Amino acid sequence: MRKKFIITAIILLLIGVSAGIFGLFPVARVNGEFVLYRIYNERANALERFETKNRLVAGSESLTPAEQEEIRKFILQNLIVEHVFWQYVEEHTALSGLKESADAVVAGTLKEADPNVLPQATKEIYGWSVDEFVENVLFWQAFQNELQKVIESDGTSFDEFARMQLNNAQVQLYTVPWKWENGGLSEK
């Protein structure tokens, strides 16, 4: 009995350590779906890298801790928005082709990009491969743009639609210095 307890405790400890190392724990839960810390951290690091590179080119000072925190807040807000919009589209079968429309926009964008420059640029600027850049930036921007077209085609303001969706979202946050309030992040 004691041996089983020790083995179980060791297994649970290893699982916990693995989840921590690989960022496989949630930073937020949006309408029941988890946003993993790994994704949040990767995107925040990429945007910090981008901002740092821009400042180096402009000869400006490096990011302050307050600016780094604002970047992290911005990224988490975007991840929540992505989840809310994705869930909305999944719930409305009339919008089932929206993902394919966004994929087509991304494909067109990539076709126009210089294949000799894009891989190096995404690696230098964000620290990502082209596929990672597509997955984390291009797809979500195209998806939101396509959703905006559909929403506005019915005469609805996209800003009002987004505000309503975010206000109605059930969001729980973990391990971050903000709280979800009135459809956005605010200080605790």
In whole angstroms, give the CA distance from residue 122 to residue 129: 6
Q: Are 43 and 79 in contact (CB under 8 A)?
A: yes
Q: How many domains does the chain have?
A: 1
Which residues of the chain are under the pLDDT cut of 70? 5-24
Over the stretch 81-130, which tens digit does the pLDDT of each residue have?
999 999 999 999 888 899 999 999 999 999 999 999 999 999 998 999 99
Helix (H), strand (E) at residue 76: helix 65-91
Look up the domain containing 144 and give its range: 2-187
Global pTM value:
0.84
Continuous segment of H or E residues that includes residue 2: helix 2-22
Query: Cα(51)–Cα(165) distance, rounded to whole angstroms?
Result: 30
Q: CA 154 to CA 105: how far, in whole Å?
A: 21
